[in-house]
Amino acid sequence: MENAIQTFSTAIKEWESNFFGFNFATLNVDASIDINNFYEGHEKYKLELSELLTKADKYFELLEAIVDTRISFVMPLLEDLGFRFVDSKISFLTPFEKSNIQGQIFELQNSKIRIREKVEADYKAISDLSINFMVHDKLFVSKYKNKLFFAPDLAEKYFREWIKNTFKSENAIISVAVNELDDVIGFFIYEKKGMYKDLPVYKGILTVVNPEYRGSDIHLSLQSFIFNKITDEKFNIDNTTQVTNVPIIRNHIKSDRYLNNISFILIRKKLS
């Protein structure tokens, strides 16, 4: 469905719609919207969005809005019209050069742990680590765990599929940590995705370490292994996580990552 209104527009999320079996779309909000114009024309913007949502309800079960903090003043309007806050994300985008990346390389301090590149047989262990110690973690926040909008089993289903697709990606670099029995006890996934300022972007997809082995910075050594595998002389690293993930954010700040943006995620279910 196309929308002629400039401030708000919708776009279907093709992959998610096919995967979940219902139409799921994005509500785009013009990031250049001016705060003064917004408040002065509040009723006009409300009418525009109301009309768009009425049309969207004929096509989409769910609408997702990702709102940059710089235009967070639009959130009360979204909430007035049925959107609910479900998640958040903070993104760091940092340029690196292979010639002076040594400050980002951390040696493994545990002699009983070994780090290697993933092999096909590691898929199930990586998938199970993600579900057992991330999705099932009560402190882990994800929109897909919100039962107001998604069935209880969809979070596990989504993350298993996401990991499977990334595991198979030719652009992914995956490191695993194994114990003395060669059991996978942690992993880190980066994937080469797009360009920024004429340099390739390597996006941190996911890292999980079995809680029994946490505390010795294994995730940093896993990441270091990946950095050493990158062949580009110059590149960008994209680290994105939830605003609620304070320990990871603290690590990114300590590692001199460059803050790129912070966003809030809201979802609306169509009116019956």
- Average pLDDT in the chain: 92
Residues with Cβ within 8 Å of 114's Cβ and at least 6 positions away in sequence, in order, are 108, 177, 178
pLDDT tens track for 70-103: 999 999 999 999 999 999 999 999 999 988 887 7
Instruction: For the chain, give every domain's residue range.
Output: 8-82, 91-260
Class of domain 91-260: alpha beta
13-25 pLDDT per residue, tens: 999 999 999 999 9
pLDDT at 1: 46
Q: What is the pTM of this model?
A: 0.89
Digit-coded pLDDT (tens) for 212-247: 988 778 888 999 999 999 999 999 999 999 998 888
Q: Could you report the per-residue pLDDT of 43-75, keeping only the tens digit for each?
A: 999 999 999 999 999 999 999 999 999 999 999
The reported pLDDT for the residue numbered 181 is 93
pLDDT of res. 24: 97
- What pLDDT is recorded for position 214? 83
